[in-house]
Structure 1
Amino acid sequence: MPHLTLDLPHWLTTSQRETIVALAERNHAAHGNDLLGLVLSGSAGRGMATERSDLDVMVVLTDAAAADRSTVKSNEVDEIVDSWSELTTVPPFGTEHWWYRWSYAWAPVLLDRTNGELAAAVRRQATLPPEEADAVLVDHDRLDGWLNFAYRALKNDRDGRALEARLDAAESVPWLLDVVFAMAGRVRPYNKYLPWELREHPLDAWTADDLLGLVQRTLNGDASALRETFARVRAACAAYDERRGHTRTSEMIYGWGTELAIFEPVSGG
């Protein structure tokens, strides 16, 4: 390919490589210099593809070129059109496109014709600078929300309402994962990729086995898992606040006052 040099992950099959090369050639022929780059997302982009997986290739175009294109899906490849403005606009937490940000996490850049600006934009989508992490944890109440569901689950468990406890415990999990990943400056992965990310890109404060074990026990309605998680989160908040030079997350926790007693280990338990 005289005009394009692709950086293809080593784990791709011959068939996948041929599909991507053909896609790149087709887009270069159609758009010339308006083709800014290609990014491989989905299972294939993370070495998790099966025989049933297709390829998710983001085709990054200038705004003008992207205006005349739309995403095309087939059994073999989803050709997802991404304009430069879309790629470089970072949707805040809770907005319509926030959920798509993790699709860029750890996604190999196959082609970057922007002298690295495209690769940097891809990384930015899936990372949280300190101020944005604060916003997720505190301003958007993900920490307080996790505490609320965990607290309700423990009250239900205390009062003998096993089903209700399990429901609240399960509902606490997405909030917990937002908290854990925000403290690490990362967008929470889609559930399908949670074990993969924890093992391939470990968090400093949580090993994969620790966090996945606590999540599984929480989903089973295990009250002791919620108490263990609380202790871990409280310590993580103290460390996070120290790094940030504030006390916002710790203050949110201790603002619960005497209600926190329910998180203390049960005597003899």
Structure 2
Amino acid sequence: MTDTLPGLVVPEWLTPAQRALLVDLAGRNDAAHGDDFLGLVLSGSAGRAYATEHSDLDVVVVLADEAAAARSTTHSPDVDEAVDSWTDLLTVPPFGSEGWWFRWTYAWAPVLLDRTGGALTDAVRRQATLPPEESDAVLLDHDRLDGWVNFAYRALKNDRDGRPLEARLDAAESVPWLLDVVFATAGRVRPYNKYLPWELRHHPLEEWPGEQLLDLVGRTLAGDAGAVRETFPLVRAACAAYDARRGHTRTSDMVSGWGEELRIFG
């Protein structure tokens, strides 16, 4: 749907009231900032056709740096209007930094308005993707792969030794590490927990059938040692496929480096 402001495209799945709010918001920013108003991005549940009656609109207003410096995020019952400067949008925070958590905000988020000739759209997509070197850093330099093996190994040892609570705690703690591995090997930023089922179903991962992964995650959170064991060969296969694409063997070598300890995975 194209509305009054040239270049503005509003998703058809929104309600008439939501579309009207976005048209008004775009017009207000255009009037206030003119050429410094670079674009709009619709994030949150509404941006992914995943909203409920309790959802508001999460909108990112992208402004030239000087204009953005004079603005801050505003909240209302219907719209959260965040402001991103052009420099901030082009800056890609590395894993573990303060800004890393916000990168998935841009994943699969429709760009409603791009006045930069496509550069804004490219920057939005870049925030939510991991080029090969960054995937290597998440998996290896930040130890997400080794960390998953470690927690999974500890969960299985506790299960073997008759410590069900300890096994469940380690199994549950392994899940965030697993999800970082799953998405980093696919070159994507891990989604927020709320959106994990949505992303797996709407944007499937080649090595991980969505329903199978969700089942394994649920069972692992419940402390099911069998789920941890079932996950291990899938992680190894994902690592082998990732290494083949990268032209190295680093992730497979890291797992193999656990040596005889891997026997516990069965």
TM-score by length of 1: 0.97
> What residue is the counterpart of 1:267 in the other structure?
none
Dislocated runs of 4+, deviation >6 Å: none
Shift, 1:4, TM fit? 2.7
Aligned residue among 117, 120, 133 for 2:119: 117
**Number of aligned residue pairs:** 264
Instruction: Give yes or no for the alignment of 1:137 onto 2:117.
Output: no
**Match of 1:37, as an amino acid?**
G
The residue matched to 2:226 in structure 1 has which SS?
A: helix
Shift, 1:5, TM fit? 2.7
Aligned residue among 178, 181, 205 for 1:179: 181
Point out the more displaced range, 5-14 or 70-79.
Answer: 5-14
Partner deviation per Cα, 1:168-188 (whole Å, 9 max, x = no partner): 000000000000000000000
Shift, 1:9, TM fit? 1.1
Aligned residue among 58, 64, 67 for 2:60: 58
Aligned residue among 224, 227, 247 for 1:225: 227
Aligned residue among 226, 229, 253 for 2:255: 253
Shift, 1:227, TM fit? 0.7
> What residue is the counterpart of 1:243 in the other structure?
245
**Match of 1:108, as an amino acid?**
P
Partner deviation per Cα, 1:118-159 (whole Å, 9 max, x = no partner): 000000000000010011000100000000000000000000
**Match of 1:237, as an amino acid?**
C
Shift, 1:10, TM fit? 1.5
CA contact (8 A) 2:135 2:187 kept: yes
> What residue is the counterpart of 2:172 in the other structure?
170
Partner deviation per Cα, 1:3-25 (whole Å, 9 max, x = no partner): 53311111100000000000000
Partner deviation per Cα, 1:193-214 (whole Å, 9 max, x = no partner): 0000000000001111110011
Spell out the pairing of 1:70-219 with structure 2 (5 A cutoff): 70-219=72-221
Separation of aligned partners in 1, 2:141 and 2:261:
21
Separation of aligned partners in 2, 1:209 and 1:255:
30
Task: State the identity %.
Answer: 75
The residue matched to 1:23 in structure 2 has which SS?
A: helix
Shift, 1:35, TM fit? 0.2
TM-score by length of 2: 0.98
The residue matched to 1:43 in structure 2 has which SS?
A: helix
